[in-house]
Structure 1
Amino acid sequence: MLPRIPLDDRSFDGILQEARKGIQQRFPEWTDENSHDPGITFLELFSWLSEMQQYYLSRIPERNLRKFLSLLGIAPLEAAAAEAEVSIGNVKEPVELPAGTKLQAEDQPFETVEHARLLPLAIDRIVTRTERESSDRSASNTGGNVAFYAFGKEAAADSRLYIAFDREPAVGETISLHVRLADGDAVSPSEESGRIVPSAMVAWKIYGLDGEDGMSWLPLSVVEDETVHLTYSGRISFRIDAPVRQVIVHPAADKPRFWISCTLEQAGYELPPRIDRVLLNTVKARQQDTKSEQLVYDGTGLPGQTIVSDRFLARYGELLVQVREPNGSWRDWREVRSFDEDGVDKDGHCYVVVRESGADGASEVRFGDGARGSIPAAGTRNIRRIHCEKSFAPLALVGRSNGLPHQKAILHGLPCKWRDGLALQVGVPGEDDMDVLWEDWEPVADFDRSGPLDRHYVYEPETGVITFGNDENGAIPVASEELNFRLIGCVLGGGVRGNIKPHLLTEWRQDEQRALGLTSDNAGYGSGGAEEESLEACLERAQAEWQTPYCAVTSEDYARLAMETPGLKVTRVHVIPNRSPGREKPAPGAVTVVVVPEGLGETPAPSAGFLATVAKHLDDRRLVTTEVHVVAPEYVKVTVHAVVVVEPQFMDESRRIAAALNRLLTPTDGADGVRGWPFGRTVHKGDIYGAISRIKGVAYVQDLWMDAEGRAVKKSPGGDILLEGHGIVYSGDHRIELISRAQL
């Protein structure tokens, strides 16, 4: 029950007095207002009923709040699973690591998200080369505690990053590198990362055989680049298309090695990439424990159809194959060793399992040819492989139907936190009494939109209870004497405990994986894990979302949306309405947005890609008739020359005065609360006089003038610096001359 919300603050006495005041106005013939009058008794009764009604209306139950949120299309967020990048080591020969491979970090289970091919390669050397110097960064990469700039701090064009392998990569192999940028230097791309235009462009090459005799640096075929040209942390995958050869790269000149290089073809980084680690043989792992999963295939209708899976549970778990019947239900087919067994005829619903490479290889399911074993009908998504852990098989049947409304089933020992983490089937009688078919049921948040024929159920993760409908809102499962509620999908996990520390993901959960002698380690933190959102937090989020406009209408909207551009670090935004670049006169319907990126220098300038990314983000949110332009700031360098009279003991404080001017004339906001100079604001001499005069020990400013450098610099007759609308100032080398007051 939530705290009382006072929808009406009137009490019983207040309601009664308000009613009695209206007697003379509405019924002047009513003259007896004493307590013995029946009319007064009725007024007291209705006043009490009104007070009780407003009391209950002020106490909105949780169920109603959830319904109100559902009308707005909002529901509390489910628990989220953390993810971490895992590096696999001690690879002595190529190893196929199936998706779903189980690892352990203390008491937290993890699974690999995708299939990975591990190669017997290791990084031997890393070298960075700029126009000024070449440096061996191998020790920094091995230790992982000293970050280094991939292309130097200036990140000038033609700078290079070299990575050497300890052995020759084979032709046709795909090599995946995971590049971890230093904390604070990279913003993880969001779902809109495909819309990000890179600020700089790099080219990957490998030293190999060019033709029959010549050797040179050959372009590498980039299969995947999550880093967006080394702008973010992520994976880069290359395909080796030509034989690799050894070469000497200075300063790692002790012996030839197998090198690849990354050349900065087009400069423009707002923040030069600073690398924490470059890792080989990495795979993404998610904090979850899959007990059962299903894979769906299309039926070809041809004899001897095969379906292959190389997932972890397909290798080491139990297998069940289902084929969809014409009425939409599913039939379990049985496994046989061979189609030549007794009892296998043309109507036999059976299949054979073939292992491609021993017990550790992919498993292949093969169906009959119509003479020995049935042929699954042609169709879309009508064949299903169900894999589960051997220990899960006894837990798959979770109850039976009694044919009554609102029946429930409880999951014991399966703390699933996701509604979509379950896949439920209900068994129904087939044509024969001994025949059982299975129907898929779908999870829903509630039965409000469910009809009497909809096979829906509601799962409550906090209690582990599955609830079915009442034949009006949601169908009732067919009654059965046997257990006929079966889970064919179950995924556990999620929560904040999955946000593990580095170097904890080191154990393999399967004996077969441990037997390979591989090592595992997570160089970074696990991230993304969260508990289920509370109702109170959901209400706060809903209020914030509905109060935050999505469409850009006002200047404040454009500034806020530009600051929130996914994947970019924007420090300042200035919006100029009715302004279009290149036009001197006002342009109705046009908006110019000036953005300042985060950078290392005094005057961080956005690249063309940075501006294009912000423009794409705003273009989706502008009004149809609005013309949006995103431009870089126009920096103006302001140098102050001042003659300042100070007290005798402050004759050595010229640096302090210059520092105060630097804080005043800065283009960006500082961490200590210093605000950057406003866009387009004139730099008046009075601003400088005030900043200097407030410094302790300053008597007065005897003389002052300012110089300005930049495009379209203008000065007023009084010596003030005039700025354009997108102009912003930064400090030059201020010249401060101090005169002792005692000398005057």
Structure 2
Amino acid sequence: MLPRLPLDDRSFAEIVQHSRRLIPKRVPEWTDENAHDPGMTFIELFAWLTEMQRYFISRVPDKNRRKFLDLLGVAPADTQSAEAVIQFTNVTAPTILPRGTKLMAEDQMFETDATVKLVPLSLDRIVTRTEREANDVTASNVHADVVYYAFGADAKQSSKLYVSFDRELAPGELVTLNIELMQPGKDTQERHASELLDPLHAAAAITPSSRLSWKVYGYDEQSEAEAWLPLDIVQDETLHLTLSGKITFRAGAPMRTVTVHPSSDRARYWICCTLEESGYEMPPRIRQMMLHTTMAVQRDTLCEVIDLPYNGGDQTSIVSDTYLSVYGKTRVQVQNIDFSWTYWKEEDPLVSKAGGFQQDSKLYTVKRSAGRDYLEVRFGGSEGGVMPEPGQMIRIIASTPKFDQLRMIGRSNGLPGQSFDVYDVPCKKKDAIKLQVGESDASGELRWFDWTRVDDFDHSGPGDRHYVYDPIGRRIYFGNGERGAIPASCREENICLIGCLLGGGERGNVKPGLITEWVNDVQAQYGIKVDNPFYAAGGSEAETLAETLQRAQAELKRTFRAVTDEDYETIARETPGAAVARVQAIPLYKPGLSDYPRERAAGQVSVVVVPYSLSETPTPSAGFLQTVRKHIDSRRLITTEVHVIPPVYIKVTVHAVVVVEPQFIDEGERLVEQLRRLLRPLDGEDGSPGWAFGRAVYKGDIYNVLSGSNGVLFIQDLWLDAEGAHVKKSAGGDLILPPHGLVFSGKHEIELISSTRL
């Protein structure tokens, strides 16, 4: 008998009680909830049916649940590797670190995800200057836990950020600054920003709120004078300091030294960032500005494949710049017309001198650069062997020397349902392994075919070269000839691994300052120091079935298309690159309507957005509104016209005469503070909501707040004043707001009278 799985732990009584609680909301005219009422009988009947249905559904085995998820297009998430920002310091000579350079954080291996070119260069001083003050923030930049404003707390136009280097930049020399910002609503903002696939996508999706200009102090050859000259910005991933990212630039003219206050001890080589157009909702706050950085991923690559095209002509070699290519064991394959691969032989100088190779031999020679930053594979050998055909793909299989001896995992016997153990490579990810199967041709030579990993063989046909890898059991499975092809039988081992990745999981989420060790002794001798200034993040274990079911339910409920008012508000909040604090969708409304809701705009909706801001009245910039509008436009109905607008702020001032007990006569400021908490546009830090959009300010609201305070006996007199567009005052003294109106506090005047004076 199958065990009962608790798909839903609600009992019959709980379902009935839940249904009864919905009656006043859904059917307010239903007032008789006693047992004799026929409606209650129907509720109990359907509660019983619901409980029975859930009981039977709970008996569905996990295998069926996985198939149901597959029908929804949802698969359990694989193990994920943590990522971290890596910084290199103490660079004394030009150095190139190939992609995949291995670093250690205690017992966790990390690899760089790009080739890094290091030059002797470091940041000397960082200065921020506004119209009121100038500060040297170099010490704050060294300590990543101390945040500083790039352009002051106000971020006004013409504010400047100065950065100096310890030497002159050569004209045309590329320099990359990695700027890590502190984002408002950090968790939500970083999640939305991570949805941007690349800097080009981010540039198309986000319209910056402000505009910056970069200059360098150098020698102008045209005027033959020293001046601040434009800096050539090659790439700006930060989008004018809107997001964290890299800024790549080069100086187009010779640099000159200049003194910048308050770093006036000596002249330095400076670049300057000027705020040309102000508009930041939240002034940019820098956690750290760094040189010589790259991303590192928690993994250990034991074997990898690098596919490169061969164009023929004068090309006689190919170049690879990965770590395993330079420091590992390499083999070379050339692709055939049937998409199979053939191994070529690396030339042995001793055999070549002895005449062991013929001129038609398929040979290659390997040359590693003196700086150990790339590998060159040259074809033909010294005896003039054959060359690949133009258009053929060349594959370099690079692996660690130890793993090179473990690449062959078995021999196929040609029978269905074969499986092979791979206990020597404890890979945690399903995609961590790539393999080839060799098939003998007419001459007896093995031709190697790539096989594709799949989760199961349900969608595999008889000719599909598919395999399944089980990371828990460390076993590879092949098909049975009906679902998935059978590997060709062979007298020798013909199942070969050509790719293998270790790593992944939560253990990779290491603390700052732990990624400090070099794995390669040659690279360690460079004397370069390595460090991770921030936490490594993103590492997670493979999803369980229960976690996948929970995620599938959340994804099905996730709002993707804008149809209802709630849809528009949810999508606006999730705009990448825009930190939206509050939002309100107003249907059938467009800017300019003077008598809403009597006057309505058919087929139109206005979305009012309030950004995170330090201002008392947070106002979105034109770029902010454009960013939100573009995001909504990609998800709205084609028949709906959307307007993304700022709120209209109404300044409300309360005048009141309050009678209090004698001991509270000096606590007028406490009453003013309570009014400020009530009449505010943003939600409070304690979770209390801000003023609702368009809600009228009734005198009763003020009476309620003041009279509920300690020591208040009664309100003797009360009246309200308002300043702002489209606000009206009723005959009773209440303030009627426009639908996109928000209130903020003016200078409230509260007169306290002791009860003893009455």
Output the TM-score relative to the length of structure 1.
Answer: 0.90
Query: Which residue number in structure 2 is paired with residue 18 of structure 1?
Result: none
Structure 1 contact 303–367 (Cα < 8 Å) conserved: no
Q: Which of 350, 353, 358 is the equivalent residue of 1:345?
A: 358
Query: Which residue number in structure 2 is paired with residue 527 of structure 1?
Result: 537
Query: Which residue number in structure 1 is paired with residue 739 of structure 2?
Result: 725
Structure 1 contact 340–372 (Cα < 8 Å) conserved: no
Cα separation, 2, equivalents of 1:153 and 1:306: 56
Query: Which residue number in structure 2 is paired with residue 176 of structure 1?
Result: 176
Partner SS state of residue 302, structure 2: strand
- 1:481 matched to 2:491: yes
Structure 2 contact 310–318 (Cα < 8 Å) conserved: no
- Following TM superposition, by how much is the alpha carbon of 1:202 offset from its aligned partner in structure 2, in angstroms? 1.1
Cα separation, 1, equivalents of 2:57 and 2:86: 54
Cα separation, 2, equivalents of 1:234 and 1:138: 20
Partner SS state of residue 296, structure 1: strand
Query: Which residue number in structure 1 is paired with residue 642 of structure 2?
Result: 628
CA RMSD of aligned residues (A): 2.2
- Following TM superposition, by how much is the alpha carbon of 1:482 offset from its aligned partner in structure 2, in angstroms? 2.1
Cα separation, 1, equivalents of 2:610 and 2:656: 30
- 1:554 matched to 2:564: yes
Q: Which of 282, 291, 311 is the equivalent residue of 2:302?
A: 291
- Following TM superposition, by how much is the alpha carbon of 1:148 offset from its aligned partner in structure 2, in angstroms? 1.1
Amino acid at match of 2:143: G
Cα separation, 1, equivalents of 2:109 and 2:4: 39
Cα separation, 2, equivalents of 1:565 and 1:414: 42
Cα separation, 2, equivalents of 1:153 and 1:471: 69
- Following TM superposition, by how much is the alpha carbon of 1:90 offset from its aligned partner in structure 2, in angstroms? 0.8
- 1:306 matched to 2:320: no
Q: Deviations over 1:566-623 (max 9, x none)?
A: 2322111111000111244311110000011111122111111111111111111111
Cα separation, 1, equivalents of 2:219 and 2:564: 59
CA spacing shift, 1:183–1:722, aligned 2, 3 Å: closer
Structure 2 contact 98–373 (Cα < 8 Å) conserved: no
Mean Cα deviation higher: 171-180 or 519-528: 171-180
Partner SS state of residue 281, structure 2: coil
Structure 1 contact 2–60 (Cα < 8 Å) conserved: no
- Following TM superposition, by how much is the alpha carbon of 1:57 offset from its aligned partner in structure 2, in angstroms? 7.0
Mean Cα deviation higher: 296-305 or 486-495: 296-305
Output the TM-score relative to the length of structure 2.
Answer: 0.89
- Following TM superposition, by how much is the alpha carbon of 1:251 offset from its aligned partner in structure 2, in angstroms? 1.1
CA spacing shift, 1:2–1:483, aligned 2, 3 Å: farther
Query: Which residue number in structure 2 is paired with residue 43 of structure 1?
Result: none
Q: Deviations over 1:261-319 (max 9, x none)?
A: 11111111111111121111111111111111111122224365210112111110111
Structure 1 contact 208–215 (Cα < 8 Å) conserved: yes
Amino acid at match of 2:627: T
- Following TM superposition, by how much is the alpha carbon of 1:5 offset from its aligned partner in structure 2, in angstroms? 6.0
Query: Which residue number in structure 2 is paired with residue 144 of structure 1?
Result: 144
Q: Which residues of 2 match residues 640-659 of structure 1 at below 5 A? A: 640-659=654-673
Q: Deviations over 1:493-531 (max 9, x none)?
A: 111111111111100110011010110011111111111
Cα separation, 2, equivalents of 1:216 and 1:416: 58
Structure 2 contact 176–246 (Cα < 8 Å) conserved: yes
Q: Deviations over 1:446-498 (max 9, x none)?
A: 11111111100011222211100000011000112322111111111111111
Q: Which of 618, 634, 646 is the equivalent residue of 1:604?
A: 618
- 1:201 matched to 2:211: yes
Cα separation, 2, equivalents of 1:346 and 1:580: 80
Mean Cα deviation higher: 105-114 or 277-286: 277-286
Query: Which residue number in structure 1 is paired with residue 384 of structure 2?
Result: 372
- 1:398 matched to 2:396: no
Q: Deviations over 1:80-134 (max 9, x none)?
A: 1111111101100111111110000111100001011111011111110001111
Structure 1 contact 177–236 (Cα < 8 Å) conserved: yes
Cα separation, 2, equivalents of 1:124 and 1:472: 67
- 1:363 matched to 2:364: no
Query: Which residue number in structure 2 is paired with residue 46 of structure 1?
Result: none
Mean Cα deviation higher: 138-147 or 538-547: 138-147
Partner SS state of residue 392, structure 1: helix
Query: Which residue number in structure 2 is paired with residue 319 of structure 1?
Result: 330
Instruction: Report percent identity of matched pairs.
Output: 51
Q: Which residues of 2 match residues 464-543 of structure 1 at below 5 A? A: 464-543=474-553
Q: Which residues of 2 match residues 730-741 of structure 1 at below 5 A? A: 730-741=744-755
Partner SS state of residue 414, structure 2: coil
CA spacing shift, 1:496–1:436, aligned 2, 3 Å: same
Cα separation, 1, equivalents of 2:59 and 2:414: 36
Query: Which residue number in structure 2 is paired with residue 279 of structure 1?
Result: 290
Structure 2 contact 697–734 (Cα < 8 Å) conserved: yes
Q: Deviations over 1:696-725 (max 9, x none)?
A: 111111111111122233222322212111
- Following TM superposition, by how much is the alpha carbon of 1:190 offset from its aligned partner in structure 2, in angstroms? 2.2
Amino acid at match of 1:511: D
Q: Which of 553, 577, 581 is the equivalent residue of 1:567?
A: 577
Q: Deviations over 1:612-643 (max 9, x none)?
A: 11111111111110111111111111111111
- Following TM superposition, by how much is the alpha carbon of 1:56 offset from its aligned partner in structure 2, in angstroms? 8.1
Q: Deviations over 1:374-404 (max 9, x none)?
A: 1112225x21111111121012112221211
Cα separation, 2, equivalents of 1:2 and 1:524: 47
CA spacing shift, 1:698–1:447, aligned 2, 3 Å: same
Structure 1: tracts of 5 or more residues without a match: 10-52
Cα separation, 1, equivalents of 2:346 and 2:181: 50
Cα separation, 2, equivalents of 1:546 and 1:143: 43
Amino acid at match of 1:294: V
- 1:670 matched to 2:684: yes
Partner SS state of residue 405, structure 2: helix
Structure 1 contact 303–368 (Cα < 8 Å) conserved: no
Amino acid at match of 1:411: V
Q: Which residues of 2 match residues 683-698 of structure 1 at below 5 A? A: 683-698=697-712
Q: Which residues of 2 match residues 58-457 of structure 1 at below 5 A? A: 58-182=58-182, 187-188=189-190, 189-192=193-196, 193-194=202-203, 195-211=205-221, 213-302=224-313, 305-337=316-348, 341=353, 342-357=355-370, 360-368=372-380, 372-379=384-391, 382-433=393-444, 435-457=445-467
Partner SS state of residue 439, structure 2: strand
CA spacing shift, 1:254–1:437, aligned 2, 3 Å: same
Aligned length: 698
Cα separation, 2, equivalents of 1:55 and 1:523: 52
Q: Deviations over 1:142-187 (max 9, x none)?
A: 2333221110000001100001111112222211111122375753
Amino acid at match of 1:630: V
Cα separation, 1, equivalents of 2:534 and 2:731: 59
Structure 2 contact 559–571 (Cα < 8 Å) conserved: no
Cα separation, 1, equivalents of 2:270 and 2:314: 50
Q: Deviations over 1:522-547 (max 9, x none)?
A: 11111111111111011011112113
Q: Deviations over 1:669-700 (max 9, x none)?
A: 11223211111111111111111111111111
Structure 2 contact 722–735 (Cα < 8 Å) conserved: yes
Partner SS state of residue 401, structure 2: coil
- Following TM superposition, by how much is the alpha carbon of 1:258 offset from its aligned partner in structure 2, in angstroms? 0.6
Cα separation, 2, equivalents of 1:366 and 1:553: 60
Structure 2 contact 83–539 (Cα < 8 Å) conserved: yes
Query: Which residue number in structure 2 is paired with residue 34 of structure 1?
Result: none
Partner SS state of residue 194, structure 2: coil
CA spacing shift, 1:533–1:228, aligned 2, 3 Å: same
Partner SS state of residue 610, structure 2: strand
- Following TM superposition, by how much is the alpha carbon of 1:368 offset from its aligned partner in structure 2, in angstroms? 2.1
- Following TM superposition, by how much is the alpha carbon of 1:417 offset from its aligned partner in structure 2, in angstroms? 2.4
Cα separation, 1, equivalents of 2:693 and 2:725: 15
Structure 1 contact 344–372 (Cα < 8 Å) conserved: no
Structure 2 contact 559–570 (Cα < 8 Å) conserved: no
CA spacing shift, 1:259–1:86, aligned 2, 3 Å: same
Partner SS state of residue 693, structure 2: coil
